[in-house]
Amino acid sequence: MSSLARKAILSLAGNRFVTRVMTRHGLKIGAGRFVAGVTLQDAVAVTRRLNDEGLAVTLDLLGEGVTDRDGARAMAEGCAGILEAIGREKLDANLSVKLTQLGLAVDPEAAMENMVYLQDIARQAGIFIRIDMESSDVTDVTLDIVRRLYARERNVGTVIQAYLYRSPKDLEELARLGMNVRLVKGAYLEPPSVAYPKKADVDAAFRRLIAQHLSAGCYTAVATHDDAIIAFTESFVKEKGIPRDQFEFQMLYGIRPERQRELARAGYRTRVYVPFGSDWYPYFVRRLAERPANVWFVLANLMKP
Ligand code: FDA
């Protein structure tokens, strides 16, 4: 999508009237396709439905702009509730978290403390926690916290972004530890001094990272909706004889759901990233800005009687 159209959507979405209407009615008129709902109960119901279709899930409690310790602690409590629900309801699911939600911007040690709290709950319930990767100004501190957590217990992993020039080296270090890593193209606006500006270069880097981590014998989550990358992974694992329990595909809730089911039916472990929570609006706007077809989908729902 052109950056002009993207900016137009982001600016319209920021309009106060649009925000008020959307936050009040949005889940009914389209946002519900990308967000599982407002409550944990909503997310559990969606997870169960996806599990019944043969899809694993990673749950994400939405919430942005945590600026104090109380907000970070409240987020940690929300995540603890998710871990408890996964155990109690026997869901095929794990948890994805962002360290900025757990206080990274306030004090990295506060984020570490909150993660230790969650890691201990997850250990008791036998659940894995994925630490999402955010913008490049927090890559170092995120990797540092991930390594410290991994030294305590191996039930955590993180994400490496193909667009960053530094990623092959970071991935090599994580492979030395034997870490389960999710590989993605990268979602933040980064300068050309740190990230490939061209899509073709990002795609090529993504393929190299997939080959690198799988060849190192490490568990690899290939998170993409891109058929060319999926096809590359399929042929790479076939050629190298990499077993199916060493990797999985991941996609976002509501994006290419048919393809998700198709991959699961083909016998690939496939996991859906399921976001939920009252602070769903900014996440939803980013999904719209990524792709014009999604805007038409919402407008068409608005026109329905
Ligand atoms: P690309 O953007 O090239 O899209 C390929 C095709 O997928 C498109 O042509 C279209 O058909 C379809 N598609 C893509 N987006 C769509 C949309 N919104 N609606 C409908 N169709 C769409 N990033 C990050 O920086 N840190 C992280 O921790 C994560 N975590 C993460 C987890 C999971 C499970 C996923 C799937 C993605 C992430 N990402 C992420 C986001 C990632 O970096 C990337 O921005 C998106 O996945 C889009 O890139 P694709 O690989 O899908 O390819």
Express each pLDDT in 96-113 by its tens digit.
999 999 999 999 999 999
Residue 286 counted as an annotated binding residue: yes
Which pLDDT band holds residue 296 (cuts at 50, 70, 90)? low
Under 8 Å between Cβ of 301 and 29: yes
Which pLDDT band holds residue 138 (cuts at 50, 70, 90)? very high
Among candidate residues 60, 132, 170, 203, the one labeled active-site is 132
Q: Counting beta carbons within 10 angstroms of the beta carbon of residue 128, is it exposed (0 to 12), middle (13 to 18) or buried (19 or more)?
A: middle
Residue 251 counted as an annotated binding residue: no
pLDDT of residue 19: 73
Closest atom of ligand 1 to CA, residue 271 = 34
Cα(185) to ligand 1 centroid in Å equals 7
Examine the pLDDT at 79 and tell me if it is beyond 90: yes
Q: Is 207 a catalytic residue?
A: no
Continuous segment of H or E residues that includes residue 157: strand 156-161
Q: Is 69 a catalytic residue?
A: no
Q: Could you tell me the two tokens for 270?
A: 């496939």
Residue closest via CA to ligand 1's atom 26 equals 133
Using most ligand atoms within 8 A of CB, pick from 50, 156, 161, 226 the residue to mutate for ligand 1.
226
Cα(224) to ligand 1 centroid in Å equals 5
CA dist., res. 295 & res. 114, Å (int): 37
Examine the pLDDT at 21 and tell me if it is beyond 70: no
Which pLDDT band holds residue 300 (cuts at 50, 70, 90)? low
Cα(273) to ligand 1 centroid in Å equals 11
Closest atom of ligand 1 to CA, residue 294 = 19
The pLDDT of 243-251, averaged and rounded, is 98
Which pLDDT band holds residue 28 (cuts at 50, 70, 90)? low
Looking at residue 195, its amino acid is A
pTM given for the model: 0.93
pLDDT of residue 297: 66
The total number of residues written for the chain in this structure: 305
Residue among 269, 203, 211 at smallest CA distance from 240 = 211
Closest atom of ligand 1 to CA, residue 188 = 25
Residue closest via CA to ligand 1's atom 28 equals 132
Cα(127) to ligand 1 centroid in Å equals 25
Under 8 Å between Cβ of 278 and 302: no
Which pLDDT band holds residue 63 (cuts at 50, 70, 90)? confident
The pLDDT of 126-130, averaged and rounded, is 98
Largest CA distance in the chain: 57
Under 8 Å between Cβ of 80 and 296: no
Residue 186 counted as an annotated binding residue: yes
CA dist., res. 63 & res. 54, Å (int): 28
pLDDT of residue 90: 97
pLDDT of residue 288: 77
Residue 67 counted as an annotated binding residue: no
pLDDT of residue 33: 87
Least confident of 16-25, 44-53, 196-205, 273-282: 16-25
Cα(116) to ligand 1 centroid in Å equals 29
Residue 296 vs residue 124, higher pLDDT? 124
pLDDT of residue 282: 79
Residue 295 vs residue 79, higher pLDDT? 79
CB count in 10 Å sphere of residue 19: 16
| Pairing, β 220-223 against β 181-184 | parallel
Around ligand 1, the residues with Cβ closer than 6 Å are 132-133, 159, 161, 184-188, 223-226, 250-252, 255, 273, 287, 290-291, 294
On average, the pLDDT of the chain sits at: 92
Q: Could you tell me the two tokens for 252?
A: 């976002």
Intervals of CATH 3.20.20.220 along the chain: 36-279
CA dist., res. 27 & res. 232, Å (int): 35
Q: Where would I find the H helices in the chain?
A: 3-14, 16-25, 40-52, 69-88, 108-125, 139-152, 167-177, 199-215, 227-240, 257-265, 281-290, 292-303
The pLDDT of 24-49, averaged and rounded, is 87
Residue among 208, 289, 283 at smallest CA distance from 252 = 283
Which pLDDT band holds residue 278 (cuts at 50, 70, 90)? confident
Residue 32: partners with Cβ closer than 8 Å, 6 or more residues away: none
Least confident of 137-151, 247-261, 284-298: 284-298
Closest atom of ligand 1 to CA, residue 206 = 51
pLDDT of residue 304: 55
Quick one: CATH architecture of 36-279?
Answer: Alpha-Beta Barrel (3.20)
